[in-house]
Amino acid sequence: MIRYIGKRLLWMIPVMLGIAILIFSIMYICPGEPAQSLLGPSATAVELAAKREEMGLNDPYIVRLGRYLYDTFIRFDLGTSYKFGTSVFAGLMERKQYTLVVALLCMALQVFVGTPLGIMAATHHNGLWDRVSMFLALVGVSIPAFWLALMLVLIFAVNLGWLPTSGVANGIASFILPCIANSFAGIASQARHTRSSMLEVIRSDYIVTAKAKGLSSKTVLFKHALPNALIPIITIVGNGMGMMLGGTVIIENVFAIPGVGRYMTDAITARDYPVVMGGVLILGLIFSLIMLLVDIVYAFVDPRIKAQYEGKKKAKKAPDVGTAKGGA
């Protein structure tokens, strides 16, 4: 297993190189003027051209790619943001804690509310509870995040005044509404996936065997059924975490949370190349690490996958001899 993880970590290098080259090429062919957003709307074309020259944006593709790769992978310098003037890495670090808080809270809500909902829906298949929770899940998925966010603000902040409307100044209170709004879709998809994979598992023979052993229905559910249904659920949670760490722009915009999502999106609209490229690289790294973690958890949960990771030689198939002493 360690060998597998080692191999995967080595694979990170080509992945990071791939991301760097891909994102650079995208920003290269991507139309739009970083100079424009820097100098403001009342800049004239002549001034813009001078600024482009000064930012070295007119050099040929290969020169700029070489310079960029050298800066990033040799000197580990992601450059400074055109708009903010601060280094990209510092910009991301300043904003990461807000995105992290939202991401972790939402993932917790997704797992600890979504999964039980899914299990209950599966165990009462086609029962009332199944219909109700599945309808809620569908509503959760199709409601646009900003709509839910603004409705929550209207009720809890403006009318009831319990919670702040936006900003991050009020400690945990300012993260309650954003997390509920942001996690609604996550809970919905978690519940749906859990229900679907639990339904698959509940009808298999080893569940009948478990029941026949006299285990209580709770033990059968949580010790035998759920572990077998985990694989798709792990994929959803892993992927969700990866996305969340990239920040959720809509929630960060509506609740004025200075997170990574807004930082990146503003950078894309303003064509702030260093921030976009640096941010994508770091988020790409985090994403690949999470995907590696997901694969490891796969192996941890399901020995058959672990066997496939370790390749053919180690996991031997028992020869069908088994004669041994044969009976008493």
**One character per residue 244-283, x = contact with other proteins (rule: CB under 8 A):** --x------xxxxxx---xxxxx-xxxx----x---xx-x
User: Does the footprint of other proteins cover residue 231 (CB under 8 A)?
Assistant: yes
For residues 77 and 75, give the distance between their C-alpha atoms in angstroms, rounded to a whole number. Answer: 5
Residue ranges in 26-55 that form contacts with other proteins under rule CB under 8 A? 26-27, 29-34, 36-51, 54
**91, 98 in Cβ contact below 8 A?**
no
User: Does the footprint of other proteins cover residue 324 (CB under 8 A)?
Assistant: yes
User: Does the footprint of other proteins cover residue 296 (CB under 8 A)?
Assistant: no
Beta bridge partners of 80: 87
User: Does the footprint of other proteins cover residue 88 (CB under 8 A)?
Assistant: no
Nearer to other proteins, 71 or 156 (CB): 156
User: Does the footprint of other proteins cover residue 323 (CB under 8 A)?
Assistant: yes
DSSP-H helix ranges across 203-328: 205-212, 217-219, 226-245, 249-254, 260-269, 273-301, 303-309, 311-314
Q: Report, in Å, the least distance between residue 75 CB and other proteins.
A: 19
Residue ranges in 144-173 that form contacts with other proteins under rule CB under 8 A? 144, 146-147, 150-151, 153-154, 157-158, 161-173
User: Does the footprint of other proteins cover residue 320 (CB under 8 A)?
Assistant: yes
Taking CB under 8 A as the criterion, the residue among 200, 293, 296, 310 binding other proteins is: 200
**212, 225 in Cβ contact below 8 A?**
no
**How many angstroms from the chain centroid is the CA of residue 260?**
13
User: Does the footprint of other proteins cover residue 2 (CB under 8 A)?
Assistant: no
Beta bridge partners of 87: 80
Spatial CA neighbour of 197 closest among 274, 141, 115, 293: 115
